[in-house]
Amino acid sequence: MARTLFIGLDGVTFTLLDELVRELPGEGVAMPFVAKLMREGFHAPLRSTAHPLTPPAWVSLITGRNPGHHGIFDFVRSEDRITDFYWTLSDRLDIRVESLWSIASRQGKRVVSLNFPMMSPPEPVNGCLVSGFVSWKHLRRNMTPDGLYDRIKAIPGFSAKELAWDFQRESQIGEEMTQAELEAWVDHHRPREEQWFRVAETLLAEDKPDLFAVMFDGTDKLQHQVWHVLDPRLIKNGMTDAEKRLRERVLGYYRRLDEYIARLAELAGPDARVFIASDHGFTASTEVVRINRYLGELGYLAWAENDGSATAKRREDANFAFLDWTKTLAFCPTPSSNGIVIRVANEPGHPGVPPEQYEAFRAKLIEDLLALRGPDGGQVITGVMKREDVFPGAAMHAAPDLTVTLRDHGFVSVRNRAPVVESRRIIAGTHHPDGIFIGYGPGVSNDHSRKLMNIVDVTPTLLYSLGLPVPQDFEGRVRDQMFTDEMFDENPVLFGPPTLPVTNARGAASSGVSEAERAKILEQLRALGYLEN
């Protein structure tokens, strides 16, 4: 079968991409190569996970399973310790199902995987893997095989600090920035993408793997901060001169990204299949919703007392719920989760809801959440999802009891500030459920009907492209409209044994990060809080 090139573009949406691939007055075509792939190949919207957040979405994309099976729901995981909550980073050891890299490797395919989140500590693969979302100090320890770091370090112009995740700088996501800060934000992400491209270019040319995958995440980082100069619905009434300069700077980023994709496709060869997907889409967030403030006013939770100490002040300002755990029944743990956790008192005397009252309590909580109104009188929370409905699987009980959808698809706030609902002074970018999928190459159809796909369809599609059977326990499938009838006739979709079981090694292995370092990273998780206010 043909070599398969997979390019992940974090947060890319057709709302924006449709503009970037067409001729715009005075701006030209920002992404002409992607335009060619869409014009001559297949493209369709890709529905993300029930809560369209980076970690669960990318893990679903590379496992073919929903978070209820793979077990990743947020950037962090927590443990209820009755009188307190313990927080730590999620990582690969929390993933309960087999990955695309493992499935392809054990069937003799050579793979290269670059910059995908939740891949730390790296699993052994038949090829190379560099984990995404790790700091430069831990980069060497979060790639495989041994010796790969020295290969990468030899690439001209290589900089570990530019390549890796900068927690301090990324902590600015969601903050209001000056024009100069926004321009600097764009300028910062361009060399980082250049670094990942140079690594990708080198490994693709030298290793010639059967499956090559790289994820560019600058798209998401930029869109969070500069969506107001990108969304065609927001700029239709004109922009200031400063906004025009900022937009041109951002379009320069997308032009360069298009060149990277074109070069990687060229290296993959004329017979390669090229696939592009995003983990979710993007849209405009217009208001702040302080969900824990609302739950506190309704009596579901109690706030921790700030004794004026530096520790209390730090915890109050962090992106974790700062609560009195002896009196809290339901709360949102992090802004990125958009989830509501209901505490159940499984032992007499423990704080929480008695098990026999859980269903009635949850029903009343849903009713109260849907009753929240904004200053305009409109319904703020448009959907409340029960975990058994959207996250079925062995890991379901690690999910929040409820997951909320806001009317602007924004992320909630967990801080104790008033009012509960407040308009944003500056419109920000936030996640939307619908991302993108593009396919191009031998046997790929020229279907532009844009029938909605699901994010769990990506892994079976890539396995099919590699000539491998689709595991029978996958939740996704190879869509009929994606490939030509001739392709399916000559290469029918094969279904194979289920994926191999994964032993949850939590606690038995380490990502090379000390407890002190992990604590420091948790302090910096404001970077992962999205639009906290």
182 shares its domain with 164: yes
279 shares a domain with 363: no
Asked if 225 and 194 sit in the same domain, the reply is yes
In this structure, the answer to whether residues 371 and 438 fall within a common structural domain is no
What domain count does the chain have? 2
Please check whether residues 321 and 414 belong to one and the same domain.
Answer: yes
Residue 375 and residue 363 share a domain: yes
Assess whether pLDDT exceeds 70 at residue 169.
no
What long-range pairs does 344-352 form, CB within 8 A, spacing at least 24?
Answer: 350/82, 351/82, 351/83, 351/325, 351/326, 351/327
Same domain, 64 and 195: yes
Single out the residue of 473, 461, 393, 470 nearest to residue 50, CA to CA.
Answer: 393
- Dist CA 370 CA 438 (whole Å): 36
- Looking at the DSSP assignment, which residues form a beta bridge with residue 439? 42, 275
Whole-number pLDDT of residue 131: 95
Q: Per-residue pLDDT for 168 more than 80? A: no
Q: Check whether residue 315 and residue 446 sit in a common domain.
A: no
Instruction: Give tens-digit pLDDT for 300-335.
Output: 999 998 877 877 777 777 778 889 999 999 999 999
**Does 464 share its domain with 375?**
no
**pLDDT per residue over 496-531, tens digit each?**
999 999 875 553 333 445 555 555 555 555 444 444
Find out whether 282 and 16 touch, Cβ atoms under 8 Å.
yes
Q: What is the CATH number of the domain that holds 361?
A: 3.30.1360
Write down which residue in 425, 448, 464 finishes a domain.
Answer: 425
- Domain hosting 73: range is 4-285+430-502
- CA angle centred on 335, ends 173 and 138, rounded to 5°: 60
Q: Report the C-alpha gap between 5 and 265 in whole angstroms.
A: 7
pLDDT digits (tens, 9 = 90+) for 93-147: 999 999 999 999 999 999 999 999 999 999 999 999 999 988 888 899 999 999 9
Where is average pLDDT lowest: 107-116, 175-184, 480-489?
175-184
User: Bridge-partner residues for 276, per DSSP?
Assistant: 7, 438
Record the pTM: 0.93
Strand order in the sheet with 273-277: 143-144, 127-131, 111-116, 211-216, 4-9, 273-277, 434-440, 42-47, 453-454
Residues 197 and 278 in one domain: yes
Looking at the fold, whether 352 and 255 belong to one and the same domain comes out as no
Continuous segment of H or E residues that includes residue 70: helix 67-70
Domain identity same for 378 and 326? yes
Average confidence (pLDDT) over 219-226: 94
